[in-house]
A and B are shown apart, each in its own frame.
Chain A
Amino acid sequence: MVKEQFRDTGSGCYKISKVEFTVSSPEEIARQSHLRVIAKHLYQQDGQRTPVPHGALDKRMGTSSNSSKCSTCAKGMVECVGHFGHVDLELPVFHCGYFTSILNILQCICKTCGALLLKPTDRKKFANLVGKPNITYLVKKSLRKKIIAEAKKVHTCLVCGDNNGVVKKCGMLKIAHDKYRYGKNGEKVKACKAEFEISTAAKFPQLDATIEVLNPLTVLNLFERISVEDLPFLLMGSSDSSGKPTDLILKNIPVPPICIRPSVVSEIKSGTTEDDITMKISEICFLNDALVKHKESGGKLEMFVDYWDCLQQQCALLINSEMSGIPNQNIGKKKSGRGFVQRLKGKQGRFRGNLSGKRVDFSGRSVISPDPNLKIQQVGVPIHMSQVLTYPERVTPHNIKWLRILVRNGPNRHPGANFIESKEGIRKYLLYGDRKRISNLLEYGDIVERHCVDGDVVLFNRQPSLHRLSIMCHRAKVVPGRTLRFNECVCAPYNADFDGDEMNIHLPQTEEAKAEALILMANQVNLVTPRNGELIISATQDFLTGAYLLTNKNAFFHKYEAERIIMMGASELQEFVQLPPPSILKPVPLWTGKQIISTIFRPNKLSNIRLNLRTKGKNYLGQAEEMTADDTFVVVHNSELLAGALDKAVLGSGAKSNVFYALLRDFGTVNCLKFLDFKFS
């Protein structure tokens, strides 16, 4: 069953070739934003809940309630795309995600003049490698490592001659440069001694001039002084869209649109619960404000530095709220708010929780119960479900008559329809309105959302879905009641039993999905487990016991009984059944159970099915093959069961020497399974 490859014609349709992530510069952030966010308050005091202009909830960034419209594009909550804003920071701040990159770059350049710390020989060596276009990621990574390693060895700047020591992290988001300390042993240079003496001579004992803390402003200035020729050695981004090192430091923060951080109006008490990010943004605005006021009023230096530190921390918490090492975190609040990183990671995050797996429409769930009278391909769908799960069927000349009947039945009668969508896109709900008139106005090309009817393709699934057979395609059959039903033989792949298990059902909505489900995921294709090729859908429980008793040496049946059994079991064959001559002619014609089974395998002389099988039954002792007295060796010759009672080894799952397996391999038939519903009596 090789499937032909589907080639998309792709007329007028672009395909995404790549997605690239880059660092955005402060100018870009300012350009894409629609407004500057300054105000620290969210709402005005007028009790109407109008947002403060230039605040974090300004309407120009979008809207999060059904009633109001976005000020920028005048669209409602659903259509508005959302517009960015930005906050201009008073003082620059490290971006917590790029911190290690900033550190690495600092290790490569001189901390006084910004020149690259590479010896001319090294520079030449790397210049070739760095200048190559289309460097792969891994090559870039190793190259960067080497450059950093070389740069760390250079202690005197080539341009200005100043000392450069070890650059390290010290505390949360702070960088320290130990000017006179290099190497692992930490030898102090003689020059250090000289400096020390100078400082003591000047009687400033507190000045520990050897370690300087590099604040973001200093680093920003440094990065701006890096010359253009030195930039490629830092290996930032691809050549055309590369970022500059100055971009790694935040001068302004983009404020995401309101649709990403909606506010929830609580019904019980008046007031809204704002999103964590909104709260953080307003805190950042508050700190900014405080810094501006301090600048103007000339406050103490320590307060200034405190506020700056606080600003740095808040900006980091905005991005990653679970940064370690920040004080005042666990005091008071039990659960810290969610930053951007927390939104993305983890099982409930965007990737695993909303992209790889999500909640879907047109699905249902109910308790399962058995139904041996359904074929294995069928699943019994309760009527309530079939009226809600609809399929959008296009009106064509072939089905217009039938769809008209469905439209007339409406949503409350099964089979019926719920909605009609005309070609222009107008939707009509069929509960109200004159359905007869609407059904007469149906045209080719309209879409009728009709109820699920017998024969519809549905997908049936039991969680946890451990192997691919946990989700299989079945044909729906509408049944009364409120449970999902299916034939018990299909329990095995789902690992389901009927002690209260629940299962999910999905109805594919598009023709392509339906076709794929039918061909690839159907039961017939999935009789065999991919694990080792054994049968997994096969006779179980009553079916097995019934078959064993039927094919016992003692089982003899009168004509009416034999016919009844065959009819009960074989009604799906829809073939002409020819009963073979009875095994016992006198005094009463009697057929054996084995003959009945043979008839089921091959109903009449014209049928092509010639099954051949010789296997051991479960209790076979290993001697004499078909002549054993206890009937445990099964021989089927040309679809006639000559010897042996059918038991678990022959009809059950997990064996390759199995009647169904042989049938499948040779003839692909599935009907056999249905027969063995029989009360043993």
Chain B
Amino acid sequence: MICPNETPEGEPVGLVQNFALSACISVGCSEEPVLNFLKDHGLILLMNCTSENMKGSSKVFINGKWMGVHPTPKIIVHQLRNLRRVGKLNPEISIAILPFSNVRSEVHVQTDAGRIYRPLLIVEDKKLKLTQDILEKLSNKKYSWKNLLDEGIIEQLDTAEISNCYIAMWESLLKSQPQNDFTHCEIHPSMILGLSASTIPFANHNQAPRNTYQSGMAKQAVGLYATNFQQRCDLLAHIMHYPQKPLTTTFGAEMCNLWKLPAGQECIVAILSNGGYNQEDSIIVNQSSIERGLLRSSVYHAYVDIENLISAKREQDEAFERPGKLDVRVLKVDNYSHLEDDGLPAVGTRINEREVVIGKTSNNRGVKKDVSVIAKLNTHAVVTQALVTTNEDGQRTHKVVLQETRCPKIGDKFASRHGQKGVIGMIYSQENMPFAKNGIVPDVILNPHAIPSRMTIGHLVEALAAKAICLSPDIAKKKIDGTAFNQPITGETFSEFLSNKGYHKHGEEVLYDGATGIKLNATVFMGVNFYQRLKHMVDDKLNIRNRGAVTQLEGQPKRGLTREGAQRFGEMERDCTISHGAAAFLHERLFTVSDAAYYKICNTCGNLVSLNPFVNQGLNQSAVYSCRLCDQKGMPSDDVCILFVNTA
């Protein structure tokens, strides 16, 4: 019912779960039919129970209420289930004997809302009730889901009733293991996976945690989130320029139309150790592919501002306009020339960091103040939309959408669909990359050390499968499918496709070194993998500060990338420095470079001392400090010493 792989990493792990594809929730129905049937078929109501008829009978519960007892629980349950299978009872009703193995078991019937159930094929006499002609009728649209339920071909079981069943994973098990009396059969084993896990091809060949990572990363992948993104003004949107549907998809993903708005591209991947720039999870990418648009994306930022009419008297209100030097006292930036008269820039204007995006002034009794909206740090963008509208309160609203193209660069994060995430370590141009005899150059080079400990065989299988599909699309597509648990994959599954087209049957290729032209001594595994671009990009993460804004209260540097904040030299780092014995460095970090200050204190009583202005009016040279506590006014300044202390 719940996807075994899709759960977030970190604090909410295991607490936040996701539904499997085949799971549904019951909406509730009346318990009358069940109650009536039971009454007519031997249920002894509670009020009529005596100690005699309770002996050897099982309790019967409907929706948690104890209705009575019944002498033959197994038979009545069988009858109820048969009723359900012919459509006389609502298919959501769950009928279970709990605990199953106990003689003194109880019959639980649930008809309420909020239960999770999933559909399974019914097995009778070691055969599925689903036959070939029913399947044909289904594909001809003569049969519907309701027909299947009403004819007893499929049953919907919730968690209680499932404990009464023996489910076979495949139809073939029914014949090959006749000794087991299966009651049901899975429609398809891959239906236990949830939506995110259905993106993973050959998921059953991967180590489980890798599937979990991928389930999380699929949500961070850049793709097309809506087809009307050019008309929308979303605060932050990522769009991939050339998204591609993956060659290896799963059944579940196709059914849910996941790839109608795809989120990644197919890349030719070689698994090779090349120059050492792809160690420890990083990848090497082909420069020429990037120039041709590989994994390129754009970021859209929307800047929204409202014209506030602050007071009813219109003494204090705001206006969208280009602030001019004449009437506005203090301007935020130097250059307003790219704004038009209504305060908006024209579509196509380049806007960089700290430039004006929307011009606005605030008028306070004739005094104008500049309250324009300024572009954030690290922005190098182009205006794609400049919009004038009104918001729900009827105030005039201006929206400007800035678009920034982000080519993949060193530091950007990418991941395949098997939990193999990594940052670009180096970008080599096509001439320097290893090449095959037919001229194919890999787009991505992955380090072989990433495979053994992670055991993501699905990655390797996907590489082979996609390569085979590339080479012989029609035949391969019919036979190869990335759905989990679908077909057993061996080393020979793809060898026929590959060797027919003249490639090595295990996907290895002979590569020549790009720099020297010498043939590499070993053959290299090369295939096609679907790579996702994740939204973590290095441009958003670079954060440097030499000096800058400090907080008012403590006098320490501010926090946060957008505010030119500083890094925290926290308690743990302080401990490390102490352990090294670097005392002067610690003093510098915690004092000189953070909140150094000096104050004057009184030598007699040790309290802070302040300047007395009235005494100082005449004197220019030596300032006079008075310590109030010692009641010494006009104390000469050498009774005061200077204390170097932190502001906080």
Name B571's contact: one of A356, A364, A545 (CB within 8 Å).
A356
Within the complex, the shortest CB–CB distance from B606 to chain A, in Å, comes to 8
Give the chain B neighbours of A512 by CB distance below 8 A. Answer: 584-585, 588
Cβ of A229 under 8 Å from chain B: no
Bound form: Cα–Cα A352–B590 in Å: 13
Stretch at the interface among A123-131, A295-303, A460-468, A609-617: A460-468
* Residues of A close to B567: CB separation below 8 A: 359-360, 363-365, 504, 506
B607 within 8 Å of A by Cβ? yes
Closest A residue by C-beta to B588? A513
* A41 within 8 A of partner (CB): no
Beta-carbon contacts of B405-421 to A below 8 Å, as 1s and 0s?
A: 00001110100000001
Q: Select which of B276, B543, B570 is within 8 A of A463 by beta carbon.
A: B570
Nearest B residue to A519 via CB reads B582
Q: Which of A436-457 contact B (CB under 8 A)?
A: none
Report the contact-size class of chain B (Cβ under 8 Å from the partner).
35 or more
Query: Which of A67-75, A160-168, A178-186, A586-594 contacts its partner?
Result: A67-75
Q: Is the CB of B610 within 8 A of A354?
A: no
Known: A72-B610, A75-B611. A545 touches B273 (CB 8 A): yes
> Are A513 and B425 neighbours in the complex by a CB distance under 8 Å?
no
Binds A, one of B39-47, B53-61, B108-116, B551-559: B551-559
Chain A 380-414 per-residue mask, 1 if CB under 8 angstroms from chain B, else 0: 00101100111000000000000000000000000
Contact of A466 among B409, B423, B426, B572 (CB under 8 A): B572
**Assembly CA distance A33 to B628 (angstroms):** 8
Contacts of B493 in A (CB 8 A): none
Q: Is the CB of B542 within 8 A of A499?
A: no
Residue among A356, A471, A497 making CB contact with B281, cutoff 8 Å = A497
List residues of chain A with CB within 8 A of the CB of B553.
Answer: 260, 262
Chain A interface residue count, CB cutoff 8 Å, equals 97
- Residue-wise, chain A 25-40 has the 8 Å CB interface mask toward B (1 for contact) of 0001001111000000
Nearest Cβ on chain A to B281's Cβ, whole angstroms: 4
Pairwise interchain contact A358-B569, C-beta atoms closer than 8 A:
yes
Inter-chain contacts of A31 with B (CB < 8 A): 628-629, 631
Any A CB within 8 A of the CB of B274: yes
Is the CB–CB distance between B571 and A352 below 8 Å? Answer: yes
The distance from the CB of A350 to the nearest CB of chain B, in whole angstroms, is: 6
Inter-chain contact B522/A681, CB cutoff 8 Å: yes
Does B520 count as interface, using CB distance less than 8 angstroms? yes
Q: Which chain B residues (585-633) contact chain A, with CB distance < 8 Å?
A: 585, 587-590, 592-595, 599-600, 607-613, 628-629, 631
How far, in angstroms, from A31 to B626 measured CA to CA in the complex?
12
Is the pair A81, B588 in contact by a Cβ cutoff of 8 Å?
A: no
Query: Which of B279, B522, B542, B646 touches A370 (beta carbons < 8 Å)?
Result: B279
A residues 321-378 touching B (CB-CB < 8 Å)? 350, 352, 354-373
Shortest distance in angstroms between A626's beta carbon and chain B's nearest beta carbon? 27
Give Cα A21 to B521, complex, Å.
76
Contact (A498, B585) CB under 8 Å given A72-B610, A358-B648, A541-B280: no
- For the complex formed, measure the closest distance between the CB of A562 and the CB atoms of chain B, giving whole angstroms: 14
CB of A359 within 8 A of CB of B572, answer no
Q: How far is the CA of A367 from the CA of B282 in the complex (A)?
A: 12
Identify the closest chain A residue to B534 (Cβ): A500
Q: Flag if B282 contacts A498 (CB, 8 Å).
A: yes
The 8 Å CB contact of B273, one of A28, A469, A491, A679, is A679
Q: Would you list which residues of chain A between 226 and 242 have a CB under 8 Å from chain B?
A: none
Chain B residues in 8 Å Cβ range of A466 = 572
Q: How far is the CA of A530 from the CA of B592 in the complex (A)?
A: 29
Contact with A361, one of B421, B548, B552, B572 (Cβ below 8 angstroms): B548
Give the distance in Å from the alpha carbon of A345 to the alpha carbon of B568 in the complex. 19
Contact check, B572 vs A465: say whether CB atoms are below 8 A apart: yes
Flag if B584 contacts A364 (CB, 8 Å): no
Q: How far is the CA of A496 from the CA of B608 in the complex (A)?
A: 47
- Among candidates A14, A268, A506, residue contacting B589 with C-beta atoms closer than 8 Å: A506
Bound form: Cα–Cα A483–B520 in Å: 31
Contact A359 B565 (CB under 8 A): yes
A468 close to B580 (CB less than 8 A): yes
The answer for the CA separation of A471 and B610 in the assembled complex, in Å, is 41
CA gap between A461 and B646 in the complex, in Å: 24
**A516 is an interface residue with CB less than 8 A from chain B:** yes
Assuming the A-B contacts A356-B571, A371-B277, A488-B276, are A510 and B592 also in contact, with contact meaning beta carbons closer than 8 angstroms in the complex? yes
Find residues 508-523 in chain A having any chain B CB closer than 8 Å to their own CB. 508-510, 512-513, 515-517, 520-521
Interchain CB contact under 8 A, A365 and B279: no
User: How far is B411's CA from A74's CA once the two chains are assembled, in angstroms?
Assistant: 51
Does A470 touch B at the CB level, under 8 Å?
yes
| A54 close to chain B: CB less than 8 A | no
Docked-complex contact A372 and B276, CB < 8 angstroms:
yes
Assess A389 versus B546: contact at CB under 8 Å? Given A31-B629, A355-B646, A363-B566.
yes
Interface contact B411-A482, CB-CB below 8 Å = yes
Which B residues lie within 8 Å of A357 (CB)?
568-574
Chain B residues in 8 Å Cβ range of A363: 544-545, 566-567, 569
Whether the pair B411, A366 counts as a contact (CB closer than 8 A) is: yes
CB neighbors of B among A120-173 (8 A): none
Encode contact with B along A477-502: 1 for CB under 8 Å, 0 otherwise. 00001110000100100001111101
Enumerate chain A residues within 8 angstroms of B164, measured Cβ to Cβ: none
Bound Cα distance A95, B76 (Å):
75
Q: Assess whether B628 is in contact with A32, with CB atoms less than 8 Å apart.
A: yes
Contact of A509 with B411 in the complex, beta carbons under 8 Å: no
Residues of A within 8 A of B552 (CB): 64, 262, 264
Q: Is B541 an interface residue (CB 8 A)?
A: yes
* Contact between chains at B273 and A367 (CB < 8 Å): no
Given A360-B593, A361-B546, A516 and B583 touching (CB < 8 A)? yes
State in angstroms the CA–CA spacing of A350 and B628 once bound together. 27
Restricting to A9-27, which residues have a CB under 8 Å from any CB of B?
14, 16
> Would you give the 0/1 interface string for B248-289, flagging 1 where the beta carbon is closer than 8 Å to chain A?
000000000000000000000000111111111110000000
> Across the interface, do A679 and B541 meet the contact criterion of CB distance under 8 Å?
no
Cβ-defined partner of B610 (8 Å) among A81, A365, A530: A81
- Tell me the minimal C-beta distance from B231 to chain A in angstroms: 29
| 6 A-B pairs in the complex with CB atoms less than 8 angstroms apart | A350-B648, A358-B646, A385-B542, A513-B584, A517-B585, A679-B272
Given A358-B646, A359-B556, A361-B594, 17 extra CB contacts under 8 A: A32-B629, A34-B628, A74-B613, A350-B648, A357-B572, A358-B569, A359-B565, A361-B557, A365-B544, A369-B426, A371-B277, A465-B572, A469-B576, A483-B538, A498-B423, A509-B592, A546-B273
**Residues of A at under 8 Å CB distance from B?**
14, 16, 28, 31-34, 64, 72-75, 80-81, 83, 260, 262, 264, 267-270, 350, 352, 354-373, 382, 384-385, 388-390, 418, 459, 461, 463-471, 481-483, 488, 491, 496-500, 502, 504, 506, 508-510, 512-513, 515-517, 520-521, 530, 540-543, 545-546, 677-681
The 7 tightest CB contacts between A and B, nearest first, are A372-B276, A357-B570, A468-B579, A483-B411, A354-B648, A681-B520, A498-B282
